[in-house]
Structure 1
Amino acid sequence: MNVRKIDTFSGHRDCVYALISDQRSPIFYSAGGDGQVVRWNVTKPDLGELVARVGASIYALALDPQTGLLWIGHNYEGIQVVDPVQKKIVASIKLGALAIFDIKIQGQKAYIAQGDGILTVVDAPTFSIQKHLKISQKSVRTLAILKTTNELAAGFSDWCVCIFDLTTMSLKKRFQAHDNSVFSAQYSPDGTFLVTAGRDAHLKVWCVEQNYQSIQDIPAHMFSINHITYSGNGALLATASMDKSIKIWDANSFKLLKVVDRARHAGHATSINKLLWMTTENLLVSASDDRMVSVWEFGDN
């Protein structure tokens, strides 16, 4: 597999923690420790545009596919919902002085992962809180939704993963997934696997049809795995780590295909926090503590 660095997007003044795209255009958004949300065109790296500025670090972004509104996890203040075209605040949702680590929107509901171990359900059209679920004494770090089984997976800093019924939010299963905090969880596009990763640097694969039975445990990186994501066609899985590398895996066999790092590819200088596959261009976007956002193109030898 060949890899080529397309470009680097600079402008953030602190670590970059969040990336999001609508997956239908070359536009994506980044945010981080400087409290700025910037809109980029993956084909025009010099044209970053400030969409919003908040007073605290941002770890989580989400785009509502029905309204096009941008949900911003404004740490220690709650959620701000912004019209990214008009650059106007549409709504604010107060959740207390806590970190917000993930936001997922499905249908009419928004699901918010909080640093106090609470999973909050919000009615997206009205921005009203419907339910607080106190699941753990430790942070909720990551959320993943599987539409075919109507399930939500949540990963926690207490090393566990919980599976919820998306309609009733009843707990279906809880299991220890890792030997430390779970930082990222993703369902495979075909719904076969739940893949998780975290501070123990292991990539773990769980079979959905076998009641989340463990089928693979891969010591994938040297240090914490901060994020995992599937390519648009579901053929590849990418992992981002505190060890400053991105690794590309075959999504069916979980065989390692490529390592992208600073020495060989002029990669990031510090921890890589987030990844985003741009399905319109088949490019991988990465965000790092080095304040940079890089874009990568992968191809066959």
Structure 2
Amino acid sequence: MLKVEKLDTFSGHRDCIYTLERSGEKHRFFSAGGDGFIVRWNLQKPDVGELIARVGHSIYAMAYQPENNQIWVIENSEGLHIIDIDTKKEVTSLKLVPTNYFDIKIYQNQAFIAGGDGVISVIDTNEFKFKKHIKASENSVRCLAINPVERELVAGYSDNTIKIFDLLSFELKNVILAHTNSVFALKFSPDFRFLLSGSRDARLKIWDSENAYKLENEIVAHTFAINSIDYSPDGKRFVTCSMDKSVKVWDAHSFKLLKVIDRARHAGHGTSVNKVLWSDYHEQIVSCSDDRTISVWQLIDEI
């Protein structure tokens, strides 16, 4: 039997919290949202938030770069900011087209940025300049994932498709007519055998990445849009979160639902849950919401 314990609620943001990001330390993570605050939290010292930086517009996405201990932050309508964590100073910035930016992934010496204008911007992280602009749709790019095994960049779009690009040449390799609405979330399994996708259509789909992304399974997982997916550190489970205010825990082998974490049963979030992070610190689950709070959860296996 699986039990859920709510460990804590972190508060301090003044607007919706849209994103969470790991840091170089297991017990620390970052949050950002509509107030433009980039905050670092410590799971060992609950509700003690440390303001790292602030920008003028909302933030939907950021990425931690461990080599330099820097956080790459995408400010909507403005551009990219690189913040040094130790000094809390901006190292440099790069102006982007004024639109919303929904995701950023850093792999090796490249950063990939998903834009509301349908463009994936590729930036050289060493020289900090544009390397490529990938335009494969007029609709927003909502999420990104990297498959280093197949050397592929995978993108979810508001045209309901998942598009697969070659990670070296950036050529379009495959288009999957994936969902009946925007694709909001993508996540590879730790062994990169499966790609999980979540959509505004509330469906969770599992694709076989070793077999040309053939559909392996489809689940009516939530009642509203699926916003985020993350795997447990041991890869045995994964978690989804949704606009329906819930967080759900799944078996990664059978894809069976194991637990629902919501307001009624576990004093969960009161509004849309926007991002979920399954941390390496005691395998605690962290979720953030439009309700301006961050919740921390612990799963307990009972015999």
Superposed, which structure 2 residues align to 1:66-145 within 5 Å? 66-145=67-146
Q: Secondary structure at the match of 2:264?
A: helix
The one-letter code of the counterpart of 1:243 is D
**1:136-155 C-alpha deviation (Å, 9 max, x unpaired):** 11100000111111111100
Q: How many residues align?
A: 301
* Alpha-carbon shift at residue 164 of structure 1 (Å): 1.1
**1:117-149 C-alpha deviation (Å, 9 max, x unpaired):** 000100012211111111111100000111111
CA contact (8 A) 1:37 1:52 kept: yes
Q: Secondary structure at the match of 2:276?
A: strand
Structure 2 match to 1:272:
273
Q: What is the distance in 2 between the residues matched to 1:226 and 1:206?
A: 18
Q: What is the distance in 1 between the residues matched to 2:41 and 2:121?
A: 30
**1:72-122 C-alpha deviation (Å, 9 max, x unpaired):** 010000111100110100111111111110000011000000000000100
The one-letter code of the counterpart of 2:71 is L
Q: Secondary structure at the match of 2:49?
A: strand
Q: Secondary structure at the match of 1:13?
A: coil
The one-letter code of the counterpart of 1:199 is R
**For structure 1, which segment, 21-30 or 69-78, has the greater mean C-alpha deviation from structure 2 after superposition?**
21-30
CA contact (8 A) 1:242 1:270 kept: yes
Structure 1 match to 2:246:
245
Structure 2 match to 1:206:
207
* Alpha-carbon shift at residue 65 of structure 1 (Å): 2.4
The one-letter code of the counterpart of 1:144 is A
- 2:65 aligned with 1:64: yes
- 2:293 aligned with 1:292: yes
Q: What is the distance in 1 between the residues matched to 2:73 and 2:50?
A: 16
CA contact (8 A) 2:63 2:106 kept: yes
Structure 1 match to 2:12:
11
**1:252-295 C-alpha deviation (Å, 9 max, x unpaired):** 11000000000010000000000011113210100000000010
Q: What is the distance in 2 between the residues matched to 1:47 and 1:215?
A: 43
Q: Secondary structure at the match of 1:167?
A: coil
> Can you give the 5+ residue segments of structure 1 that lack an aligned partner in the other structure?
none
Q: What is the distance in 1 between the residues matched to 2:5 and 2:195?
A: 29
Q: What is the distance in 2 between the residues matched to 1:24 and 1:87?
A: 17
Q: Secondary structure at the match of 1:297?
A: strand
Q: What is the distance in 1 between the residues matched to 2:37 and 2:214?
A: 40
| Cα distance change on mapping 1:149 and 1:24 into 2, 3 Å | farther
**1:29-56 C-alpha deviation (Å, 9 max, x unpaired):** 0000000000110121232011010000
Q: What is the distance in 2 between the residues matched to 1:50 and 1:112?
A: 24
Identity of aligned residues (%): 52
Q: What is the distance in 2 between the residues matched to 1:24 and 1:39?
A: 11
| Cα distance change on mapping 1:89 and 1:23 into 2, 3 Å | closer
Q: What is the distance in 1 between the residues matched to 2:190 and 2:214?
A: 18
TM-score (norm: length of structure 2): 0.98
Structure 1 match to 2:264:
263
- 2:182 aligned with 1:181: yes
The one-letter code of the counterpart of 2:188 is Y
> Can you give the 5+ residue segments of structure 2 that lack an aligned partner in the other structure?
none
**What is the root-mean-square deviation in Å for CA atoms of aligned residues?**
0.9
Structure 2 match to 1:216:
217
CA contact (8 A) 1:241 1:272 kept: yes
Q: Secondary structure at the match of 1:189?
A: coil
- 2:231 aligned with 1:230: yes
The one-letter code of the counterpart of 1:14 is D
| Cα distance change on mapping 1:23 and 1:223 into 2, 3 Å | farther
CA contact (8 A) 1:246 1:260 kept: yes
Q: What is the distance in 2 between the residues matched to 1:203 and 1:153?
A: 16
Q: What is the distance in 2 between the residues matched to 1:178 and 1:272?
A: 21
